[in-house]
Amino acid sequence: MPPYQAEHTARSFLELSNLLCFLLELVLESNNFNSNVVALIFSI
């Protein structure tokens, strides 16, 4: 894998991780989500 492609992959993974953390915070802060939704997110 070329270095630039590896760097791009790492950056994409980091952005995805940040997005997942953001979504998790929204779920934890919202009273509209039940435990099934949280379990579904963790199962992905």
Q: What is the pLDDT of residues 15-35, one digit of tens each?
A: 999 999 898 888 777 656 667
Average pLDDT along the chain? 80
pTM reported for the whole predicted model:
0.50
Give the C-alpha separation, 11 to 5, whole Å: 10
pLDDT at 25 (0 to 100): 85
pLDDT at 13 (0 to 100): 92
36 vs 6, residue with greater confidence: 6
pLDDT at 16 (0 to 100): 92
pLDDT at 23 (0 to 100): 87
Give the C-alpha separation, 36 to 39, whole Å: 5
> Where are the chain's structural domains?
3-43
Q: Say if residues 32 and 26 touch (Cβ distance below 8 Å).
A: no
